[in-house]
Amino acid sequence: MHLSRRGFLAFVGSTTALAQSKPALAWKSKAPSDPLGCLVDITRCIGCRKCEQACNEVNHLPEPEIPFDDPRVLSSPRRPNNTAYTVVNSYSTGKLDDQSKPIPNFVKIQCMHCQDPACVSACITGALTKLENGTVHYNVHRCIGCRYCMVACPFEIPAYDYFDPLTPEVRKCTFCLERLEEGKPPGCASICPTEAITFGRRETLLQLAHQRLEEDPGRYYNHIYGEHEAGGTSWLYIAGQPFHKLGFLDVPDAPLPQRSESIQHGLFSYLWSPIVLFGLLGLSMKLTHGQDKDNKEGK
Amino acid sequence: MHAHPRPIDRPFWSPGVLVMVSLMVAGGLALMTRYIGGLGFTTNLTDATPWGLWIAIDVASGVALAAGGFTTAALAHIFGRRAYEAVTRPALLTAALGYTFVALGVTIDVGRSWAIWKPVFFHNYNSALFEVAMCVMIYLTVLWIEMVPIVAERFGSKIRLLAWLDRTLDKFMWVFIILGVVLSCMHQSSLGTLLVIAPTKLDPLWYTPFMPLLFLLSAMSVGYPMVIVETNIATSSLKLDGEMDVLAPLSRFTILTLGIYLVVRIADLMARGQLGRIFECSSTSISFGVELFIGGILPWFLLLSSKVRRSRRGLFIVALCIVGGVLLNRINVFVVGFSPQTATHPYYPSIGEILVTLGALATIMFLYRLFITFTPVLSARSLKEVSQ
Ligand code: SF4
Ligand code: SF4
Ligand code: SF4
């Protein structure tokens, strides 16, 4: 092993210089400032599953085993999967109507299109991206199928083509990006007969949601799911019941990428720590190099 | 003084090798089903639990248990403890084989195996997985570069190219040795960063923002115990001298490294008020208890005794506990403690997943045997020579 002393010291020197130039690394949100979104008003949803059908058609998904006009599927909770990007579940929370029948709450689930999406931060190749219009977009041509996005998503949304041996895809709500780009609302929002899904700018939707909560406090539980969850999401919900009773997941308010990205960048921006470590180890190697002459083998 | 490493003169085929071959065949068949029926056919993975045994063992544990490579290289080549050079070669071989199979493990686990090269061109610097992938890729190359002198020593006279490569690389070998240690520190810790993004899914017994540090420290502390375990297995099955004159002093470093790891681990658990959950008596807390006590605290105390360190069997058992503890830690993080809110039932590996993992392990051992038989890796003398 050879090691030139001068080259080496120069190296250690540059290392230290680099370490000192390390900038302050505060994490910054990369959320678009004026994204589109949807407000789902659970008190308006009648569980007709028309949105499921529209979604199926817009995204060219396979025909389901049980037809969309069969309401029986509502009774046991489902999750979006690789053949259905949105599903409606029914939850009864014990409240009764005038004829003392339990009042169902219908909850539509799909990708929340987070403002700072964990899936986007996690994706190894950048196959998932947050677009300026709010859509969290999946580009299959970059995907390797590592499924880290699925591990990362706090809403547990992305699904996988597990039975495709060679070209499986990650599947989730596309926000009907093509329709959005044509200036049309997403399929599910435009078909809804009771206007339970309002499409618009996130800011406007938040105002609308607050307005509804204020105007009819008896009808609504005082929380907008998605206003702060996971640092804010493009899809928002208001409901007549506490959200945890309606199958909504517990998700912290801090954007999920914040912690992991701070660690990643704190340790590795400009590769400062590996370079410093390299310098220190090299120094140690240099210092102990002479000690072994007697004991060194064959080289 | 220690003998120079040399090929062992033993017949290659033995009953043990035949067992390995049959496991390799079984694993190979299970692997075929994955490429015919898809991941869903062979594995028990679901949308809620997208990572299973292959990520926990073949990848995460594989990387951790290959830590003998960089920890011995650091000790012998960087910190100048030449006395330990005897164990650097077997540790390097294990690391080279281990990482090769980590790479293969990732390749079969990703849905689009043929697209595995894409991270080289499409980068996401926010992703811990991207960093792990890059480091593993480069480190794997570095490891095989470090292997060149060993192979060249044996075959250099026959294969000119090899001898030339060896001579050329020799000038830069110091770069590769340091690079290997640096890359190891980077991705060992980044493996711990992987689940930092999933606080709602990983049990707080393991979820902490200090996971990267804990992964690095545990990898550092498992390096020498792993060398002790594999040297013991190799030397006793091949009837070689146990090399206790190297292994016993080597284990003293583990008192320090394992001690630091345990202090940080326990302090973190206490700071987050989780330590009491050891009394919970759920399968999760039992798995945690076994990991911490049998895989950490107990062997640490045993290591303090010089009697244990000097006894071949005692040292082997202690090292085995530590290796098992780190293995269980990785399984706990990626499988046992990983409980998403929508998981309807816990994930258990399928027969197919287990067979593929066993097959990979058998292939590693098979190749290890192949290398030590034909190239100068082990320095241990045969028992006959010792008694002379
Ligand atoms: S809900 Fe999940 S999949 Fe959708 S944008 Fe957020 S993190 Fe990504
Ligand atoms: S599965 Fe595809 S989209 Fe998801 S993180 Fe991996 S590469 Fe990205
Ligand atoms: S936005 Fe489009 S893809 Fe998403 S749930 Fe609605 S219809 Fe389906």
Q: Give residue B106's domain range.
A: 44-349
The reply to whether A291 touches chain B by the CB within 8 Å rule is: yes
Is ligand 3 within 6 A of the CB of residue A54?
yes
Contact A108, A192 (CB under 8 A): no
SS3 call for A81: strand
Task: Give the integer Cα–Cα distance in Å for A180 and A171.
Answer: 19
pLDDT at B3: 64
- What's the gap between Cα A116 and its chain centre? 7
- CA of A234, nearest ligand number: 1
Interacting residues of B184 by C-beta distance below 8 A, sequence separation 6+: B67, B69, B70, B135, B139, B219
Token readout for B39 is: 């991941």
Q: Cβ-count burial of B22 within 10 angstroms (0-12 exposed, 13-18 middle, 19+ buried)? A: exposed
B116, part of any domain: yes
| Percentage of chain B modeled with pLDDT above 70 | 98
Stretch A261-276: mean pLDDT, rounded?
89
CA dihedral A179, A183, A186, A187 (to 10 degrees): -70
pLDDT at B388: 59
Q: Check whether A254 has a pLDDT greater than 50.
A: yes
pLDDT at A8: 45
Task: Give the integer Cα–Cα distance in Å for B22 and B29.
Answer: 11
B129, part of any domain: yes
For B36-91, the three-class secondary structure string (H helix, E strand, C coil) is HHCHHHHCCCCCCCCCCHHHHHHHHHHHHHCCHHHHHHHHHHHCCCHHHHHHHHHH
A179 or A25, higher pLDDT: A179
The maximal CA–CA distance of chain A, rounded, in angstroms, is: 96
B302, part of any domain: yes
B226, part of any domain: yes
pLDDT at B4: 81
Are B209 and A127 within 8 A, CB to CB?
A: no
Of A36, A37, A46, the closest CA to residue A196 belongs to A46
Q: How confident is the model at residue A59 (pLDDT cuts 50, 70, 90)?
A: very high
Is ligand 2 within 6 A of the CB of residue A137?
no
Q: Nearest CA to CA, how far is B11 from chain A (Å)? A: 27
Q: How confident is the model at residue A294 (pLDDT cuts 50, 70, 90)?
A: very low
Are B193 and A263 within 8 A, CB to CB?
A: yes
pLDDT at B328: 97
pLDDT at A271: 86
The A residues from 107 to 166 touching B (CB cutoff 8 Å) are 118, 121-127, 142-148, 150-152, 154, 156, 158-166
In degrees, rounded to 5, the angle at the alpha carbon of residue B53 between the alpha carbons of residues B63 and B33 is 115
Of B383, B371, B385, B387, the closest CA to residue B6 belongs to B371
Contact B8, B373 (CB under 8 A): yes
Best A107, A125, A248 residue to mutate vs chain B (most B CBs within 10 Å): A125
pLDDT at B236: 87
| CATH number assigned to the domain comprising residue B188 | 1.20.1630.10
Of B384, B378, B386, B366, the closest CA to residue B8 belongs to B378
B80, part of any domain: yes
Chain B CA closest to residue A283: B78
Averages of pLDDT over runs of 10 residues in chain B (388 residues) are 73 87 96 96 96 96 94 90 88 94 96 96 95 94 93 87 88 91 94 96 96 96 95 88 88 96 96 89 93 96 93 95 97 96 93 96 93 88 69
Task: Give the integer Cα–Cα distance in Å for B283 and B339.
Answer: 13
Q: Which ipTM value was assigned to this complex?
A: 0.93
In this prediction the pTM is 0.92
SS3 call for B209: coil
B58 or A286, higher pLDDT: B58
Distance A54 CA to ligand 1 centre (A): 21
Chain A CA closest to residue B54: A146
Are A2 and B174 within 8 A, CB to CB?
A: yes
Q: Check whether A94 has a pLDDT greater than 70.
A: yes
A198: alpha, beta or left, given left = phi > 0 and alpha = psi -120 to 50?
A: beta
pLDDT at A121: 97
pLDDT in tens, B45-91: 999 999 999 999 999 999 999 999 999 999 988 898 888 888 899 99
pLDDT at A25: 56
Distance A104 CA to ligand 1 centre (A): 27
Question: Looking at ligand 1, which residue's alpha carbon is closest to its atom 2?
Answer: A153
Q: Nearest CA to CA, how far is A98 from chain B (Å)? A: 34
The structural domain count of chain B equals 1
B86: alpha, beta or left, given left = phi > 0 and alpha = psi -120 to 50?
A: alpha
Is ligand 2 within 6 A of the CB of residue A55?
no
A36-41 and A235-238: which strand pairing?
parallel
The reply to whether A297 touches chain B by the CB within 8 Å rule is: yes
Distance B199 CA to ligand 2 centre (A): 19
Q: How confident is the model at residue A20 (pLDDT cuts 50, 70, 90)?
A: very low
- CA of A113, nearest ligand number: 1
Interacting residues of A53 by C-beta distance below 8 A, sequence separation 6+: A68, A191
B26, part of any domain: no
pLDDT at B8: 82
A36-41 and A197-201: which strand pairing?
antiparallel
Are A289 and B80 within 8 A, CB to CB?
A: yes
Is ligand 2 within 6 A of the CB of residue A282?
no
Are A151 and B50 within 8 A, CB to CB?
A: yes
Question: Looking at ligand 1, which residue's alpha carbon is closest to its atom 6?
Answer: A114
B373, part of any domain: no
Token readout for B37 is: 């029926």
Question: Looking at ligand 2, which residue's alpha carbon is closest to its atom 8?
Answer: A123
Is ligand 2 within 6 A of the CB of residue A125?
yes
B131, part of any domain: yes
